[in-house]
Structure 1
Amino acid sequence: MQRVWVVALLIGGSLASLPSLAVTPLVVEAALDRQVVAPLLATFEQAHPGIELSYRDRSTLEVDRLVVAADPPPDVVISSAMPWQMNRINQGYAQRLDSELANEWPEWAKWRNEVFGFTFEPIVMAYRLDLARHMLPPHTHADLQRLLETQRDTLQGRVTTYSPSESGIGYTLFQQDARYTERFWDLVTALGANDAHLAPNTRTMLEGLSEGRYWLGYNLLGSYAMVWAQEHPEVIVQVPQDYALVVMRTGFIHRDAPNPRAAQAFMNFLLSRDGQRVLAAQTPLFSVRPDIIGPYTAQRLRDQVGDRLYPIPLNASVLAFVDPQRRQAFMARWAREFDRSWREGDQ
């Protein structure tokens, strides 16, 4: 009779008073568009029903600020602004991930088992079809500069690129361009002469291209641009043929992560075959693992572009980019070169 009473009690509605299964929260602060990464997040949540994921999409500089300022701190930090990420690692804001997946991760895509590059994203140019009706679209950085210098009347106010002061990734890309393009500062002057719009993110540039405000965009994140172009046929994406910069989204577990086990599970998922397979098949973020096959893999990109791919290194050398004196000097010269055409025009 006692067993019957227990069953009847449960059927009668007392289940509501029983404690529910514990769910562990996980907070991820990320400079990575939720729309682009949605398949990856969905796969993680399906594989880890006991973890409640809170994914917060922000700008690179906002993510960097929250590493220090957030209270409580995030569990995982993700950003494409590699120098800023490395700087926080250097300041001691990360904890090691000593898993089998972490230990086997390629050396060029990690640092001290604390920060891991899990994507391989080309930097691209993009243009509207309107541009092709007036001029041959650029395929190289030299092509771009030539168009800016010879088609100024047509392109005036119709060019966009990152603002190095508003975007950590934008600043990083220009620093890298200065390494690989001898005439980089001439290009900056040409951008200024064309009254180029300086945007805080790639989405703003893409929206302007689709709306017709801009005809040509420079140094866009290829992952975002490729997704955008699939639904906006008026936008054409061009991987530069002379050289293409590559950025990696890097992730680390915060040293004071409130939920370290959930954070470890998430980071391990990013490095796993399952996670990387989603990146390669369902997103244009390009997987890093060499054992993954799909339309978006680092190896496939290398096969297409060859030795003209220049990944930004994930090592201590990028710390120089966030050195205050170097940044101040770079930004001062940027202002001089970008505004030089206006001063010369007034003389």
Structure 2
Amino acid sequence: MMMSRLIPAVLAVLVATGPLAAQEAVTTVGDGPTPFVVRSTTDIDIIQPALDAFADANPDLAVTYEQWGSIPLFEEAERACDGNAQAADAVWSSAAHLVVALVNRACARPYSSSLTNALPDTRRWRNEVWGLTQEPAVIIYNTDRISGDEVPLSRFALLDLMRQRPALLQGRIATYDIEDSGLGYLFAYADSLEATTFGSLLEGLARSDAIATCCSAEIIDGVSRGEYLIAYNVLGSYVTNAAPANVGIVLPEDYTLFLSRAYMIPRRAANPEAAERFLDFLLSDQGQAILAAAGLIQAGDPVDQGLIPSARRSIPLAPPLLVALDKSTEQQFFARWRDAFSQAPPP
């Protein structure tokens, strides 16, 4: 018999020490005799259909799915790699650069199948990390307050809007806090490599007294309520799943970053065979259809998405992502970010 139970995040605060303190929520699906533990950044309500289908197809498993923030998940996986914490059987994170770093530290087990081998090179590395989704970084806006020619269809247009309507946007633009969000840092770092506008954009956000905050759901809700009028570099899958009718979505036409959530099987996993089964399930036609229905895959023709083909930028799962984690690079990037977001708004 299938069973599913959700343990609210508030229970985590009852545990003073140990990994549960960093979990946001936990669900268990299936009641088979063999435990299988997945730690992931994907919200439970989004991934639940995939968990249900996988458990139905694998009645021998009791699947425990733990939802984490990207940075605590990385830190716990590092501890597990060193033998200082219990390893998960699978780790799956939107902060792809952090998973690549774990693989580079020899924290992962290799695996190969016809389905993993069919992935493009940008979505697998060393047969130890695999990108299972395709999700854009988007601009969102409150359609009640921003409309017509004012909708910023590119970073250049966003810069123009900040210059032309400073009073409207003062304190009303949001983005991820890159020191608290691994995903936010990854998007900002990728922007710094791609965009000639990055420096000007950072200065514009500073002039507008933009808000650096934590989470997709809070940002989307803030835009809908009018607390923010625009939010930059929000993960599009969360907008697709959660956005009210008055939240508009823009895939920037100068370029749009596409992220693949990175999956790995930890070297110390107690049940790596189940992790291999889950990986192949998520890459199967059935798994990909479930992920697409959840908004985690936008793999259509770029023209159909409002993009010219050259505007699509996939963030590759590859060693160059490790540069983002170089301590000197990271410290300099954070210092530049803090400087921008600590500047006083103009009179």
User: TM bucket by the smaller chain?
Assistant: 0.7 to 0.9
Contact preservation (8 Å) 2:32, 2:61: no
Q: Could you say which structure has the higher helix fraction?
A: 1
Is 2:172 aligned against 1:152? no
In the alignment, which residue of structure 1 is the partner of 2:301?
A: 300
Higher Rg:
1
* Distance in 1, Cα, partners of 2:106 & 2:296: 28
What does 1:247-326 align with in structure 2 at a 5 Å threshold? Answer: 247-280=259-292, 282-286=293-297, 296=298, 298-301=299-302, 303-304=304-305, 305=307, 306-326=309-329
Question: Identity, % of aligned pairs?
Answer: 33
Separation (CA, whole Å) in 2 of partners of 1:163 and 1:252: 25
Structure 1 residue corresponding to 2:340, chosen from 314, 332, 337: 337
Amino acid of the residue matched to residue 92 of structure 1? A
Q: 1:259 & 1:45 partners in 2: Cα distance?
A: 15
The separation in 2 between residues aligned to 1:181 and 1:107, in whole angstroms, is 23
Give the deviation of 1:56 after TM superposition.
1.1
Q: What is the TM-score with the length of structure 1 in the denominator?
A: 0.85
Residues in 1 aligned to 2:69 and 2:249: alpha-carbon distance in whole angstroms: 23
Within the candidate set 181, 184, 201, 2:215 is matched to 201
Determine if contact 1:76/1:257 at 8 Å carries over to the other structure. yes
Tell me which of 191, 197, 206 is aligned to 1:192.
Answer: 206
Name the SS of the counterpart of 1:254 in structure 2. Answer: coil
Cα distance change on mapping 1:189 and 1:228 into 2, 3 Å: same
Helix, strand or coil at the partner of 1:130: coil
Partner of 2:26: none
Conserved? CA contact 1:118–1:249, under 8 Å = yes
2:113 corresponds to 1:99: yes
**Which AA in structure 2 matches 1:236?**
G
1:18 corresponds in structure 2 to none
Using the alignment, how far apart are the partners of 1:252 and 1:183 within structure 2? 34
1: CA distance between counterparts of 2:188 and 2:257?
10
Cα offset, 1:49, TM superposition: 1.5
The CA deviation at 1:134 is 9.0
Q: Structure 1 residues 155 and 135 mapped into 2: Cα distance closer, same or farther (>3 Å)?
A: farther
Q: CA deviation at 1:131?
A: 2.3
Matches for 1:3-18 after TM superposition, within 5 Å: none
Q: Distance in 1 between matches of 2:189 and 2:98?
A: 13
Q: Deviations over 1:192-222 (max 9, x none)?
A: 2212111112112112112221111110000
Post-superposition shift, 1:239? 1.0
1:319 alignment partner, SS class? helix
Does the CA contact (< 8 Å) of 2:32 and 2:59 recur in 1? no
Deviations 1:6-52 (A, max 9, x none): xxxxxxxxxxxxxxx96111111101112222221221111111111
Deviations 1:151-200 (A, max 9, x none): 11111111100111111110111111112221212211211221211111
Q: Read off the aligned partner of 2:40 and give its amino acid letter.
A: A
Within a 5 Å distance, the mapping from 1:44-193 to structure 2 comes to 44-70=54-80, 71-132=85-146, 136-193=150-207
Write the deviation string for residues 47-80 of structure 1: whole angstroms up to 9, x where unpaired: 1111111111111111111102352111100111
Instruction: Select between 194-203 and 132-141 the one with higher mean Cα deviation.
Output: 132-141
- Once structures 1 and 2 are overlaid, which stretch shifts more, 240-249 or 189-198? 189-198
The unaligned stretches of length 5 or more in structure 2 are 1-30
Instruction: Decide whether the 8 Å contact of 2:128 with 2:265 is kept in 1.
Output: yes
Contact conserved, 2:237 with 2:296, CA < 8 A, in 1? yes
1:289 alignment counterpart: none
Q: In the alignment, what sits opposite 2:230? A: 216
- Other structure's SS at 2:78 match: helix
Paired residues, number: 311
Q: Counterparts of 2:335 and 2:32 in 1: how far apart (Å)? A: 53
Q: What SS does the corresponding residue of 1:132 show, helix, strand or coil?
A: coil
SS at match of 2:112: coil
User: 1:135/1:195 Cα in 2 relative to 1: closer, same or farther (>3 Å)?
Assistant: farther
Contact 1:60–1:79 (8 Å) recurs in 2: yes
Q: 1:270 is matched by which residue type in structure 2? A: L
Corresponding residue SS for 2:91: strand
Structure 1 residues not aligned, in runs of 5+: 1-20, 287-295
1:340 CA displacement: 4.0
For residue 43 of structure 1, the aligned residue among 53, 58, 68 is 53
Q: Is the 8 A contact 2:90 2:269 kept in 1?
A: yes
Mapped partners of 1:313, 1:189: distance in 2 = 28
Match of 2:17 in 1: none
Q: What's the TM-score once normalised by structure 2's chain length?
A: 0.85
